[in-house]
Amino acid sequence: GLCPALNKDLDLFLGPSVSDYVDYVSQYINESAVLKTAEFLKTCVDNKLTEEDKANAKSLLDKIEAYPLC
């Protein structure tokens, strides 16, 4: 499966809140350029992906967790 930090990152990235995602990223890298990029990417994903797209991505992640590759 995925490591817990990556799993949480992806959950927040596909979730509804830009600020929650940026706050999470800031725990690891608190540099303004990185945080602005994280905000930009999250906003872009929110504008481009439908709720169905996000649900499908989360479903894939759940399947990866259920059937580890190693």
Tens-place pLDDT, residues 21-68: 999 999 999 999 999 999 999 999 999 999 999 999 999 998 888 876
Hey, what domains does the chain have and what are their CATH numbers? 4-66 (1.20.920.50)
Task: State the pTM of this model.
Answer: 0.84
What confidence score (pLDDT) does residue 27 get? 95
What confidence score (pLDDT) does residue 26 get? 97
String of DSSP letters for the chain: ---HHHHHHHHHHHSS-HHHHHHHHHTT---HHHHHHHHHHHHHHHHHS-HHHHHHHHHHHHHHHHS---
* Amino acid at position 29, single letter: I
What confidence score (pLDDT) does residue 51 get? 95
Q: Would you say 65 and 1 are in contact if contact means Cβ atoms under 8 Å apart?
A: yes
Rounded-to-integer distance, Cα 4 and Cα 11, Å: 10
